[in-house]
Amino acid sequence: MKRSFICKCDPKRSLGSSGKSGWNNFDFSIVAIALLQASGTLAVLRSLRILRSLRLIKNIEKLRFIVEALLHSLPSLGWIFVLLALVFYVFAVIGTKPFGAPYPEWFGNLGVSMFTLFQIMTLEGWEEISRAVMKDFISVQNVLLGKKLARINFIE
């Protein structure tokens, strides 16, 4: 099969008139990678053949509309990331001051505090952090007082 492909592959034709299309060049490179021996890092490159399914975006109008809308929203998503980073920074500074000395492994410096906040946000290991902090900083009286205040505010 490989020999028949190599015999049928005409470099003038593949890089000539049909080479003007980006998809044709992409298909040619995928097939050329598939011809190489599957060993080491080249074996990973052979899995790129699945990317040929991206040609559907060009052919299906609704799918193309959705992809274009996603691409147009990328600058706004960048600004959302900046805003989220600013919020993380502010709360990391706030968390480092009271919790930095008693819990240096979670709030020792600004970078560690930001990573701890990320852990809490993604719910990965948050129960260990919250139980340790609540054990030392929140008393039963404060919790009961908070429930009474919440009940009073809810009734009003």
Q: Which residues of 64-101 are buried (b: 16+ CB within 10 A; e: fewer)?
A: eeeeeeeeeeeeeeeeeeeeeeeebeeebeebbeebbe
The contacts of residue 98 (CB under 8 Å, 6+ apart) are 137
Q: What is the pLDDT of residues 21-70, one digit of tens each?
A: 777 787 787 777 777 666 666 667 667 777 777 777 778 889 889 989 99
CATH architecture of the domain formed by 77-155: Orthogonal Bundle (1.10)
pLDDT in tens, 82-140: 999 999 999 999 989 888 888 899 999 999 999 999 999 999 988 898 888 888 776 65
pTM beyond 0.75, yes or no = no
Is residue 15 over pLDDT 70?
Answer: no
Domain with CATH 1.10.287.70 in the chain: 77-155
Rounded Cα distance between 156 and 153, Å, is: 5
